[in-house]
Chain A
Amino acid sequence: MDNLLEVKDLEVSFYTHAGEVQAVRGVNFAIKQGEVVAIVGESGCGKSVTAKSIMKLLPSSNSSYKKGSILFKGQEIIQANEREMKKIRGNEIGMIFQDPMTSLNPTSKISDQIAEGLRKHRNMSRKEALNYGIKLLEMVGIPHAAERIHHYPHEFSGGMRQRVMIAIAIACEPELLIADEPTTALDVTIQAQILKLLKQLKDDLNTAIVLITHDLGVVAELCDKVIVMYAGKVVETGNIAEIFRNPRHPYTMGLMRSIPRLDMQRDENLYSIVGTPPDLLNPPKGCAFYSRCKYAMKICKDFSPEMESLEQSQKAACWLYHPLAKSAVKTS
């Protein structure tokens, strides 16, 4: 298969006391070998849920895959059982989490935490795993790796811990790396370092990366492709240039506009999109962006738009681009 990962019509819901929250309402995308794809969107848009569902990391007690398929190297993930998933997790797919301060086992040495995956998936002995772990730490830029591998997580700074997380995630040389907001909890200088590291790893190991983030600056650094999500759906996809230079979906346009720029006037207000995202307990029938959209049309209220192909690789889910719509809107 061409595509390393194919997500088709994915629908995921959570069952809460209040009712069914439709977190993901029909997501489609594909990733090729070695591609870096960003999934952007604001909090609650479903990007994190989508990422976790790729490896079936959602809590099984109150979540369910209502529809769709996830194909990883041709294998249907949704139908896979735990035994099969355990072979994939940490091995063929690795994951980095958002908060390095809480994502590592506080009572376990780094050496053990790195070794766990190696011993399980690669059958290494303690000694082999230790030595390999040291190499991994060096690879992610931890100084004095041979000493520090015996330390506990609390003996590392935030940035260092994230590097350790990366080391753990790539230990078994997975083909796909899912990074769920890897730099959100870090400060800007460290952010840059981590991104550089990811880029380097991608170059060295040819790993595909799914980068979940709400920070468009991060996206620009690293990614080939961008997927924009809103209220549980994909609203626009395209390559970096297309999305940044020529966003088509009104939501994406709003996003781009709200990035603060160096050449703004001092007293110019920062732009923000008015309104708030809809409640996913009762998602709207039509386009979820309807209530906040400048260009809203009557049809937008009642009918959900489908993905329309635009130039090159860009696609947007908006009635504006329907062949029957009056005219395309140009951004300023």
Chain B
Amino acid sequence: MLRFAGKRLLWALVTLWAIITITFIIMHSIPGDPFAREGKMPPAVYENLTKHYHLDEPLYVQYFLYIKSLLVFDFGPSLKSSTLTVNDYIEKGFPVSLHLGIQALLLAVVLGLIFGVIAALNRNKWPDYLSMVLAIIGISVPSFILATFLINYFAVEWGLLPAATWSSWSHTILPTISLAMLPMAYIARLMRSSMLEVLNQDFMLTAKSKGLNKGFIIMKYGVRNAILPVVSVLGILAANLVTGSFVVESIFGIPGVGELFVDGIFNRDYPVILGSTIFYSMVLIFLIFIVDIAYFWIDPRIKVAGEEQ
């Protein structure tokens, strides 16, 4: 297991390095300039700005300077803010996005699994149709529409919940629901089809022939086996959720890292673009690793490579 983790870590570093380099190259090849504005920008002011952020150096120098600062975990300043650095953005924003992401993930997984199982058990009857219609809605309705809709009714019309910001736990409810809808629908559909396949398996009949309780069979024989494909997509799903959703965080005014990436590109804020790309990649690599480990734990048929009986 240790060797496995070691190999994966090495591979992760190589992947990260490739991502950094490719992003750096692409970033500097697209048109646009972090200091361009639709206002006055005299040449002297422009030059002062460029010099201040080392953007006047040749690209390879900038690249090495950046890699050097990365080694001490310094992601650099933001070109748009004199107050917060990229590290600040990530340090302040990630816990918030993480919190929102975890809540949304939990909600999506729990409800998604429940709906998926109910749909599979009642195939072609009304609980199935209802669950699948909800799933289609969840997948097709864009999160910003859902978010605005929820705010409009729960906050404005009925005054039950606050409309926006991130000031107390009740402020997290609407954003969590908005963020969870899509993954929940996705998980529900996946679980449904996985469950249907499992329900057709021979061992389901064996279980029934033993006179076991229906609920027990559903859980231990059905869900336990059907959940495997769902686990394999959880890694990417989780990575998406915990790195912040641009749309949901924007609408609810949540100070997470969701907007970091999009704003960075829009502003051509190079350190922010690189920083958020690296960060997202790290989170993704880590979560996929976790999922792979979880898979060993969940599916006894899979062995760690090199670990033979």
C-alpha gap A169/B207 in the complex (Å): 11
C-alpha gap A71/B301 in the complex (Å): 42
Report if A252 contacts B (CB, 8 A).
Answer: no
Flag the segment in A91-99, A214-222, A233-241 that touches B: A91-99
Number of interface residues of A (CB under 8 A): 33
Q: In the bound complex, do residue B206 and residue A106 qualify as a contact, i.e. CB atoms below 8 Å apart? A: no
Known contacts A97-B202, A99-B202; A106 and B301 CB within 8 A of each other = yes
Q: In the bound complex, do residue A117 and residue B301 qualify as a contact, i.e. CB atoms below 8 Å apart? A: no
Known contacts A105-B207, A105-B220, A116-B210; A152 and B202 CB within 8 A of each other = no
Q: In the bound complex, do residue A89 and residue B211 qualify as a contact, i.e. CB atoms below 8 Å apart? A: yes
C-alpha gap A108/B211 in the complex (Å): 17
Report if A88 contacts B (CB, 8 A).
Answer: yes
Minimum CB distance partner of A168 in chain B: B210
Instruction: Please indicate the chain A residues that have their CB under 8 angstroms from the CB of B205 in the complex.
Output: 52, 57, 97, 103
C-alpha gap A86/B207 in the complex (Å): 11
Q: In the bound complex, do residue A106 and residue B300 qualify as a contact, i.e. CB atoms below 8 Å apart? A: yes
Q: In the bound complex, do residue B208 and residue A57 qualify as a contact, i.e. CB atoms below 8 Å apart? A: yes
Cβ-neighbour of B206 out of A86, A103, A107, A120 (below 8 A)? A103
Minimum CB distance partner of A100 in chain B: B202
Report if B225 contacts A (CB, 8 A).
Answer: yes
Report if B45 contacts A (CB, 8 A).
Answer: no
Chain B residues 16-63 with CB under 8 Å of chain A are none
Report if B213 contacts A (CB, 8 A).
Answer: yes
Minimum CB distance partner of B201 in chain A: A102
Number of interface residues of B (CB under 8 A): 23
C-alpha gap A90/B205 in the complex (Å): 12
Q: In the bound complex, do residue B300 and residue A102 qualify as a contact, i.e. CB atoms below 8 Å apart? A: no
Chain A residues 148-193 with CB under 8 Å of chain B are 152, 154-155, 165, 168-169
Known contacts A106-B300, A107-B300; A89 and B225 CB within 8 A of each other = no
Report if A316 contacts B (CB, 8 A).
Answer: no
Chain A residues 37-56 with CB under 8 Å of chain B are 52, 55
Q: In the bound complex, do residue B225 and residue A94 qualify as a contact, i.e. CB atoms below 8 Å apart? A: no
C-alpha gap A97/B208 in the complex (Å): 12
Q: In the bound complex, do residue A107 and residue B212 qualify as a contact, i.e. CB atoms below 8 Å apart? A: no
Q: In the bound complex, do residue B208 and residue A106 qualify as a contact, i.e. CB atoms below 8 Å apart? A: no
Q: In the bound complex, do residue A116 and residue B203 qualify as a contact, i.e. CB atoms below 8 Å apart? A: no
- Write the nearest CB–CB distance from A150 to chain B, whole angstroms: 11
Minimum CB distance partner of A95 in chain B: B209
- Write the nearest CB–CB distance from B83 to chain A, whole angstroms: 53
Cβ-neighbour of B211 out of A97, A98, A106, A117 (below 8 A)? A117
Q: In the bound complex, do residue A120 and residue B212 qualify as a contact, i.e. CB atoms below 8 Å apart? A: yes
Can you list 19 A-B pairs, Cβ within 8 angstroms, ordered by A?
Answer: A52-B205, A57-B208, A57-B209, A86-B211, A89-B208, A90-B209, A98-B202, A102-B201, A105-B206, A107-B224, A107-B299, A107-B300, A108-B221, A108-B224, A116-B207, A117-B212, A121-B211, A152-B300, A152-B301
